[in-house]
Amino acid sequence: MKIKSTLIFTTLLIFAFSSFAQMKAVVMGSSTAYGTGASTYANSWAGLTEIALNQNASDGADTIIYNIAQPGYTTYQEMPDDFVSPPGRPVPDLDFNVTKALSFSPDVVIINLPSNDISYGYSKAEMINNLRAMSAYIFAGGAKCYITTPQPRNDFTQDMRDSLRQLVDSVNMSFGAYAVDFWNPLVTNDGLYMMKDEYAASPLHVNDAGHQQLFLKIMSSYIFSQAGPVALQLTGFSAQLQNRAVQLRWHTEQQAPNTTFELQRSADGHSFETFYSQRIAEARQSSNYSAMDQTPFSGKSFYRIRITDGGRLSYSSIIDITAPGSSFNISKLYVTSGGSALSAQVDVQKSQYVFINIINNTGAILFKQKQFITQPSESITIPVGMLASGQYYFRITTEDGNTLTKAFGK
């Protein structure tokens, strides 16, 4: 019954792929990707994938797969041409590495390097850092990169099998929707992290049935789908006052590599400026982020996140927070009749010099002035007749470093 249901599922997957776009793909990795353990290459996960993708009968255009996997290879041998290996580690092999993979101008690269790094005594950090570097290199080269998780090996000690299990989590956390699960279909559920007997061709290689399980994981992923991985999900965005600053926090799920977050703020909820930007090179399954706005607007500040994710641009919802009252305040701000001058009423705790800026929506400073103001309140007049109609910001900074910003229109 189990074999019959698997065959039915495989047939459905192959049928479904007849409607997917044809593309070029490169398979990289070590012995499993090479096909070791399978009775023939056609029965390996890579061979089965190639057969499944070559079922197109509508226009005669098939997906091309280039397999450059090499048995026994580690992440070091598959790093870019210009990578300098640490002492005692292999150097990149220019015929089988990521640079070679990109030479085929692929749409997709699949990296299957499940365990040899641990076998040779390399650290988990070395392996995951190399995989992250290869992923970033491939995405920067214009292709998508999918990383398979480690696979169980029965010839490893328990400590080594524990390391593989920890690396499964690291791969999933690092690559999110671009990680492919080659662990759970094969591993025992007794906590020993052994390969199941029914999938073992040897203590370290899977048989035809094991390759079939890995093939199903490849086919049920987004690798060859026109849609690609699901879009990033922003599941939390909040603001909290900390003294006179604002702490912003957000949480994401299914984050693609090379995602950029731009925190933007506004005094009126309409015109926003970017004050913080962060780019994350690796994919992440689930992540928390935080940033601090040290100079929020006087009164209410509005915030949103501009997100660039896998070529998509989106914005978060807008949140707002009101700063507490302060002896340093812009109590009045208006453009005089006729639009020739900006009048500001500034409240201060002590007499001091302040630095005044007029800023446009792009952040460019159009006017700056140093002025001495006296407590408790001072009227300031600034000529703005030269400014075109539009939205601007009046920003004032004390000698102590305290800053207030307020929007005005002309």
**How is residue 176 annotated by DSSP?**
G
Partners of residue 301 on adjacent β-strands: 321
Q: What is the mean pLDDT of the chain?
A: 87
CATH of domain 329-409: 2.60.40.2550
**pLDDT value for 59:** 52
**pLDDT value for 228:** 60
Please write the tens of the pLDDT for every residue from 91-146: 999 999 999 999 999 999 999 999 999 999 999 999 999 999 999 899 889 898 99
Q: Classify residue 161 as exposed, middle or buried by CB count within 10 Å of its CB (0-12, 13-18, 19+).
A: buried
**pLDDT value for 158:** 96
Going by C-alpha positions, the residue among 49, 26, 32 that lies closest to residue 109 is: 26
| Residue 127, token pair as written in the block | 């392996």
Q: Is the pLDDT of residue 149 over 60?
A: yes
CATH of domain 233-322: 2.60.40.2060
At 9, the pLDDT band (50, 70, 90 cuts) reads: very low
Q: Do domains 233-322 and 329-409 have the same CATH topology?
A: yes
41 or 62: which carries more pLDDT confidence? Answer: 41
Please write the tens of the pLDDT for every residue from 320-329: 887 765 567 8
Domain boundaries, the chain: 2-219, 233-322, 329-409
Q: Is the dihedral of CA 290, 293, 294, 296 positive or negative?
A: negative
| Residue 374, token pair as written in the block | 């006296």
* CATH architecture of structural domain 2-219: 3-Layer(aba) Sandwich (3.40)
Q: Is the pLDDT of residue 12 over 60?
A: no
Please write the tens of the pLDDT for every residue from 189-205: 998 999 999 999 999 99
**pLDDT value for 100:** 98
**pLDDT value for 44:** 97
